[in-house]
Amino acid sequence: MRFLASLLALLLVPLLAAALLVAAALQAAPLVSREATISPASVAEARGLLARNDPRQLRRGDERTALIPATLIDEALNHLASRNLRGRGAFVLVHDAAEVSFSVAAPGVPGPRYLNLRMLLKTVDGLPRVASASIGALPIPSALAEWLIASAIDHSGLDGDWRLARQAFRRLLFASPSGMVVVSYVWDPGLLDRARAMVFSPPQMVRIEAAQRSLVSLLESYPPRSHVPLATILAPLLARSAEHAPAQDRAALLVLAAYLSERSLSTLLPQASGWPRPRQVNLTLMGRSDSAQHFAISAALAAWAGEPAANAIGVYKEIDDSRGGSGFSFGDLAADRAGTRFGELVAADSPRLQHALRSGLGDADVAPSLAGLPEYLSEAEFKRRYGGTGSAAYRRLMTEIEGRLDALPLYR
């Protein structure tokens, strides 16, 4: 009997230890609690950062230093955590270090329980190192944290990409007074090739080429420069096989967005330079070519990058237009939101969308009426009427747009 008791104790000790570790790791409240949004200001920062470090203007071996706003990294990290982990993330500079935090709801655990991860990064000889880390109330040795990060990179199949990035990387500095992360690097064109390969796998390239050829075929039946309702193109373009259905639809939206933005796909995918090009016709939505463009680009963004990115880019574009372009347009924002919600249905492989595609689509099925929505507002006029995008007046108008969308059966 004593032997059995001792054996039972030996078996229970590791189980109790594991239970205590789980209890210490899980917490009742999230460490990071925020909305899964991207601000128009971050879109502007990202655009400026890309313009200053345009890979098309760099040659192999060029040495560059990029100043990356910590707020941009923070929103990008939160977006990735929201989209890929169904959690939240945060990045903040603390003196000469950076704190990275994640919160993910623990699945299958009674009550609200969160897995909270916190890491403090410092630079050693110009390289980022883990100074401290914890999961919940459980501290993790720095060496173990770095081993876990290396193992995650290895198991994700990104070890080759990581090695290439490390070879290009020279020095990193957390400049908290300026709110910047300073990255010095030596350009290697292989970085851009690897980035494309990460986003566009060989099967995806096959789907994108197939979608391009489908668009070419669809538009051949219309006279050049003729006006063609966008809705009449959407359904046949999104026709697909049962296998890989959402992925094929995403490819179709990407091709359509590139066509309507009047940018060649070869700018993004060099292989596309040898593909046939669609005939130039004037695709319209609610009788307007600009609405078709806004709808298609937002749909592709939502399907590929998610709703927050699509919304932020749409608002940023209107703010930018108010400063010297065609002016701020709530009509354009309505087309953006319609495209975003359409792209979300595509990404979710919505049965409601598939039924609508089989039944036939018209403009009024995919976009709301634009009647009465203020347009062509200069920056001064926009500020006079609405103050900014956070004002009550602005929110009321956006609520009206959402209400018009909610009234459409496709978006209910």
Per-residue pLDDT of 403-412, as tens digits, reads: 999 999 999 8
Give how many domains the chain has, as a whole number: 2
Token representation of residue 249: 């639809």
Find the distance separating the first CA and the last CA of the chain, reported in whole Å. 66
Pairing outcome for strands 88-94 and 97-105 = antiparallel
> Do 222 and 110 share a structural domain?
no
Q: What are the angstrom distances between the C-alpha of 50 and each of 195, 210, 264, 268?
A: 14, 30, 19, 14
> Do 123 and 76 share a structural domain?
yes
Under a CB-based contact definition with an 8 Å cutoff, are residues 64 and 53 in contact? yes
Residue 245 domain flag: yes
> Do 342 and 271 share a structural domain?
yes
Single residue among 161, 196, 231 that ends a domain in this structure: 196
Residue 17 domain flag: no
**pTM assigned to the model:** 0.81
Residue 14 domain flag: no
> Do 163 and 39 share a structural domain?
yes
Single residue among 151, 173, 196 that ends a domain in this structure: 196
Helix ranges, 92-201 (H):
142-155, 159-168, 190-199
> Do 391 and 259 share a structural domain?
yes
Q: What is the pLDDT of residue 190?
A: 79
> Do 287 and 192 share a structural domain?
no
Q: What is the pLDDT of residue 265?
A: 84
> Do 174 and 43 share a structural domain?
yes
Own/partner contacts of 310-316, CB < 8 Å, gap of 24 or more, are 310/336, 310/339, 310/340, 310/343, 311/37, 311/38, 311/336, 311/337, 311/340, 312/37, 312/38, 312/39, 312/40, 312/42, 312/43, 313/40, 313/43, 314/340, 315/40, 315/389, 316/40, 316/43, 316/44, 316/47
Residue 16 domain flag: no
Single residue among 172, 196, 220 that ends a domain in this structure: 196
> Do 190 and 227 share a structural domain?
no
> Do 111 and 240 share a structural domain?
no
Give the three-class secondary structure for 171: strand
Q: What domain range includes position 403?
A: 200-411
> Do 31 and 68 share a structural domain?
yes
Token representation of residue 42: 């971050």
DSSP for residue 194: H
Segments of the chain scoring below 70 in pLDDT: 1-25, 156-158, 161, 240-244
> Do 393 and 332 share a structural domain?
yes
> Do 206 and 69 share a structural domain?
no
Mean pLDDT in the chain? 85
